[in-house]
Structure formats: C-alpha cells, structure tokens
Amino acid sequence: MDIKQAFGDVLREYRKQVNLSQEKMALECDLDRTYISLLERGQRQPTLTSLFRLAEVLKVPAEDLIAETRKRLAS
C-alpha cells in the first residue's frame, strides 16, 4: 500500500466516524468535493495546509491522521 492510499483510507474512516458526507466535509473544509473524493481514493495527496484543514473539521490533531497513516503503511 502506498502513502496516498493509506492516507485516503484513514481520511474516509475518520470522516465516517463523524458522520460527514464528502459533500459536507468539503463544504466545512472549504475544499472541493472532488478533491476529498480523490484524496480518499489515493489519487491525490494533501498539502500541509489541507491536512490541517481536514483535521480541524474532523476534530482531531493533524498528527493523529499522520500517525494512523504510518501505522497502516507499516502493517
């Protein structure tokens, strides 16, 4: 599994945990819905700024998303 796909999987899981649709998530992050979809499918990778915005909306520290991504890469 590559980094982008690992991150995408983490993002999708965290998003579902807070019961946000991709549309709602996109709106709250002020990002494009297509971008969220591409991130979740591992076809884009977030910039540092996007990472912080996503984490804020998910109400988790940004480093948690990275730690979780790294765990999946290692497993």
Residue of the chain from 29, 31, 36, 51 that contacts a copy of itself (CB under 8 A): 51
Q: Does 43 bind a copy of itself (CB under 8 A)?
A: no
Q: Does 75 bind a copy of itself (CB under 8 A)?
A: no
Question: From CA 11, how far away is CA 21, in angstroms rounded?
Answer: 12
Apex 3 CA angle, 59 and 51, nearest 5: 30
Question: From CA 66, how far away is CA 18, in angstroms rounded?
Answer: 18
In the complex, least distance from residue 73 CB atom to a copy of itself, rounded to whole angstroms = 8
Distances (CA, A) of 15 to 27, 50, 57, 70, 74: 13, 14, 9, 18, 22
Residue of the chain from 46, 54, 57, 58 that contacts a copy of itself (CB under 8 A): 46
Residue of the chain from 12, 28, 35, 52 that contacts a copy of itself (CB under 8 A): 52
If the CB atoms of residues 34 and 61 are measured against a copy of itself, the closer one turns out to be 61
